[in-house]
Structure 1
Amino acid sequence: MTPVFKIFMDSQGAWQWQLRAADGQVMATCGQGFTDQQSCLKSVDFVRTVAPLAQADILDSPGTNEMDGGEFLGRQLT
């Protein structure tokens, strides 16, 4: 089984996505809610496009806004 993007509406009525590993573990989240499903799907396409180009930036001591439990906080897709 391969990783999968799970698209869903949260309890506040916003569209979200999660990238889940084959074992169901959440590997990444969108970090924000979208007002419509189409915008959410566009962000999935964006991640699919840029992820192969991403480099690993190893931080010696990440600040409090850099990481929290493995999820990036305060980041928006443009």
Structure 2
Amino acid sequence: MPKFEIYQNAGGEWAWRLKAANGEIVGAGEGYKTRRGATSGVEAARRAASRAKVVVLG
């Protein structure tokens, strides 16, 4: 099952990553000062993805 993970990175900032069902990281967010900031980033990514168009380049 795909999942968002919220974690503290090596620099001590909070970050998020999206993992596919096979465990591969398919998306990631910037570092945030707080865990709440990272959680808000996940929610923003979820909202944006639900409205995103697929664009084929090339």
Normalising by structure 1, we get a TM-score of 0.69
Output one character per residue of 1:19-42: Cα deviation in whole Å (capped at 9) or x when no partner: 001110001011x20000001000
| RMSD of aligned alpha carbons | 0.9
Q: Which has the higher contact order (CA 8 A, sep 6+)?
A: 2
Higher fraction of helix: 2
Corresponding position of 1:16: 15
**d(CA) in 2 for partners of 1:33, 1:58:** 29
Normalising by structure 2, we get a TM-score of 0.90
Q: 1:54 aligns with which of 45, 52, 55?
A: 52
Corresponding position of 2:6: 7
The aligned length equals 58
**d(CA) in 2 for partners of 1:27, 1:16:** 14
User: Which stretches in structure 2 are left out of the alignment for 5+ residues?
Assistant: none
Structure number with greater Rg is 1
Output one character per residue of 1:32-56: Cα deviation in whole Å (capped at 9) or x when no partner: 2000000100010111112111011
User: Which stretches in structure 1 are left out of the alignment for 5+ residues?
Assistant: 61-78
